[in-house]
Chains A and B, each alone.
Chain A
């Protein structure tokens, strides 16, 4: 769907992107991750043809991207704005037509989306009269109104209450099911885990990791397991020998716990289960995967620490 090859971009002496290549498949939600100033926004602007790369190419559906493809892209920038004195109706109509939709088609789509997001009653209001959340909804509608094949969202959940965050998430999942491709740039790692299929991590202008969410997590797993059991906590601890380390525990009830254990040496999950069986009543046991937050910190922080040294 979108092939970004060897993109480099500098602003005078500052390198914003250094030889970044990413491949995004049709019908996936793709996370674009990285600390502030990593170069994500520059990459998004290059995809949107707002800035030109110094080097490299962007291919859209197999062909070199041109301005003709812009009508197939929906874009919700992080620092988003609307014309404050314009009505919701006129704003959406203007932006829909700017993306190449006819007036008739734009109006039809406006009816659909405004209904879906409960904005219909606010159509005749000026943007400055809306609450921040309502304005955010309008912005989201304006980005998806022209039914783009590729939707680029930069921090789409910021400013939304939890209910609206869920609404947007569900919408993105539905769009993915309808074959749309979505690039999601966010610092909200929980939502990355929840809805992204794959992700790339950019740090200091370079790509440092790319893959499916589970692959990224697997690559950073640290051999930690969780055991949910019924019985005595003392019995649990006594059963373990020096090859295991208890990290922490959650108390579920009078004699029910979840305990997280880290392996030491050559010990495996099988060894853990062997020593515990007969001592406590195991209800469940599973391998703990690192959260995307942990993956993010793990990938970014060592480099920063090394840089500091």
Chain B
């Protein structure tokens, strides 16, 4: 144990002493912040106009929504049920770009559905979402007059709008927060790949310069492998903390200084929304002046950062152990560094596949394949992030813990298997790796 700590401490020191570590710790998050800034500033400058038909069967909205003079969206109301097929092909509906379905349930489950003919950009999605959300707030406040504004804010949950192509309703376009989840998932895999490759190179280097023999005279191969994975993992973790700190500080700075008038529900008096038309016009103009900030709302309002970051870190650690063990095993079994690169290719495919699984889940969150990806240890870190940001349905919260347990067990199993490969492969030099070797080493304890 003590020796594993020494090994991991050495690895940790070597990583954080490298120039690339320092530059990636600072430039990486600055790059992300720059991208966020660009999205804040230019992300939604589309002038597209949208004609939205609201099918409000129960007349929940009372044919009212956020101020009706918006240049970007024109709402029409229909107090009945319109099927997707009717909307898709019905002649009288062709003038509308999208169908927004609203019913009584939306007040409790906070999920609405939009069927579009042509996929709207993110800005338009947020705008419709914002309009509907504010109208629902008015209704809620009217219904619960006794509730205080503070209490209301406590129970308030963001609305989720599920977008689907009306001609292909099964292809559900995700809500915005899903993209944030995918971003987190991709970030996990980017770090896993980056630091996984560091593990591989480190193992291959120790093997090629033969210091491994001196090390193995003091520590067991498993201790060596675990120490190495842990040490490099700690440096990855530290880098994460840098990223979180810098991006967090950057977002705070933007919120306070660059975009101080962003859409923040806490800055709005909800009761003021239920006012006369003159005031409404003021609200609309106020909104219009700030509406380019839809990404700000996404970043500051819709992502549940605490929740996301906790699960993000847990899934990162487990995903890292799972893939890190694989990278270590590859490094130990290959005869040379260049040989190792060949074996990395399948791993890269696997990582790409995981990212695709995240994207797939974003588009088909309810599909059975998404459920499989959600539990598959190769893909779960990214898929869970997407699902988490999309929100689990009532009573579905256990799924995340189940996925966590599957990934934990798989990581332990992978460490055992990789430990065996590492032990039997680390002292084999200058050979060409063949699958039969790998099977032999796996059988051998």
B partners with A = yes
Ranked nearest first, the 6 interchain pairs of A and B with the lowest CB-CB distance are A81-B209, A81-B210, A81-B211, A79-B210, A48-B217, A77-B213
Q: Does A75 contact B (CB under 8 A)?
A: yes
Contact yes or no, B6 A94, CB < 8 A: yes
List residues of chain B with CB within 8 A of the CB of A84. 209
* Given A45-B213, A50-B216, 8 more pairs with CB closer than 8 A: A12-B440, A67-B220, A77-B214, A79-B213, A81-B211, A86-B14, A99-B218, A142-B214
Q: A94 to B211: give the CA distance in the assembly, Å.
A: 12
Known: A12-B440, A94-B6. A83 touches B211 (CB 8 A): yes
Q: What residue in chain A is nearest B9 (Cβ atoms)? A: A94
Q: A274 to B440: give the CA distance in the assembly, Å.
A: 70
Chain B window 1-19, contacts with chain A (Cβ cutoff 8 Å), 1 for yes, 0 for no = 0010011001000100000
Q: Does B106 contact A (CB under 8 A)?
A: no
Q: Does B289 contact A (CB under 8 A)?
A: no
Contact yes or no, A80 B217, CB < 8 A: no
Q: A48 to B206: give the CA distance in the assembly, Å.
A: 18
Q: Does A82 contact B (CB under 8 A)?
A: yes
Q: Count residues of A near B (Cβ-Cβ below 8 Å).
A: 27
Q: A53 to B214: give the CA distance in the assembly, Å.
A: 19
List residues of chain B with CB within 8 A of the CB of A51. 427
CB neighbors of A among B170-212 (8 A): 206, 209-212
A-B CB contacts (within 8 Å), total count: 59
Q: What residue in chain B is nearest A142 (Cβ atoms)? A: B214
Q: A97 to B219: give the CA distance in the assembly, Å.
A: 12
Chain A window 67-82, contacts with chain B (Cβ cutoff 8 Å), 1 for yes, 0 for no = 1001101010101111
B177 to chain A, nearest CB (A): 43
Interface centre among A51, A67, A80, A83 (most CB of B within 10 A): A83
Contact yes or no, B213 A70, CB < 8 A: no
Contact yes or no, A50 B211, CB < 8 A: no
Q: A82 to B209: give the CA distance in the assembly, Å.
A: 7
List residues of chain A with CB within 8 A of the CB of B218. 70-71, 95, 98-99
Q: What residue in chain A is nearest B211 (Cβ atoms)? A: A81
Q: Does B409 contact A (CB under 8 A)?
A: no
List residues of chain B with CB within 8 A of the CB of A77. 210, 213-214, 217
Q: A48 to B220: give the CA distance in the assembly, Å.
A: 11
Chain A window 194-224, contacts with chain B (Cβ cutoff 8 Å), 1 for yes, 0 for no = 0000000000000000000000000000000
Q: Does A267 contact B (CB under 8 A)?
A: no
A301 to chain B, nearest CB (A): 28
List residues of chain A with CB within 8 A of the CB of B214. 75, 77, 80-81, 95, 142-143
Partner of B3, one of A98, A142, A143: A98
Q: List 21 A-B contacts (CB under 8 A).
A: A12-B440, A45-B427, A48-B217, A67-B220, A70-B217, A70-B218, A75-B214, A75-B217, A79-B210, A80-B213, A80-B214, A81-B209, A81-B212, A83-B14, A83-B211, A86-B14, A94-B6, A95-B214, A95-B218, A98-B218, A143-B214
B201 to chain A, nearest CB (A): 12
Q: Does A85 contact B (CB under 8 A)?
A: yes
Q: A79 to B199: give the CA distance in the assembly, Å.
A: 22
User: Which positions in B face A, CB cutoff 8 Å?
Assistant: 3, 6-7, 10, 14, 206, 209-220, 427, 429, 440
B425 to chain A, nearest CB (A): 12
List residues of chain B with CB within 8 A of the CB of A143. 214
Q: What residue in chain A is nearest B218 (Cβ atoms)? A: A98
CB neighbors of B among A56-72 (8 A): 67, 70-71
Partner of A50, one of B6, B14, B213: B213
Contact yes or no, A98 B210, CB < 8 A: no
Q: A98 to B218: give the CA distance in the assembly, Å.
A: 6
Q: A75 to B216: give the CA distance in the assembly, Å.
A: 10
Contact yes or no, A80 B210, CB < 8 A: yes
B204 to chain A, nearest CB (A): 12
Contact yes or no, B10 A94, CB < 8 A: yes
List residues of chain A with CB within 8 A of the CB of B215. 98
Q: A99 to B429: give the CA distance in the assembly, Å.
A: 25
Q: A48 to B221: give the CA distance in the assembly, Å.
A: 13
List residues of chain A with CB within 8 A of the CB of B219. 98
A171 to chain B, nearest CB (A): 19
Q: What residue in chain A is nearest B13 (Cβ atoms)? A: A90
Q: What residue in chain B is nearest A85 (Cβ atoms)? A: B14
List residues of chain A with CB within 8 A of the CB of B212. 81
List residues of chain B with CB within 8 A of the CB of A73. 217
Interface centre among B210, B212, B218, B440 (most CB of A within 10 A): B218
List residues of chain A with CB within 8 A of the CB of B6. 94, 97-98
Q: What residue in chain B is nearest A139 (Cβ atoms)? A: B214
Q: A82 to B440: give the CA distance in the assembly, Å.
A: 30
Interface centre among B210, B212, B213, B427 (most CB of A within 10 A): B213
Q: A51 to B44: give the CA distance in the assembly, Å.
A: 63
Q: What residue in chain A is nearest B207 (Cβ atoms)? A: A81
Q: A83 to B18: give the CA distance in the assembly, Å.
A: 14
Q: A135 to B220: give the CA distance in the assembly, Å.
A: 25
A16 to chain B, nearest CB (A): 12
A239 to chain B, nearest CB (A): 59
Q: A94 to B214: give the CA distance in the assembly, Å.
A: 12
Contact yes or no, A82 B211, CB < 8 A: yes
List residues of chain B with CB within 8 A of the CB of A45. 213, 427
List residues of chain B with CB within 8 A of the CB of A67. 220
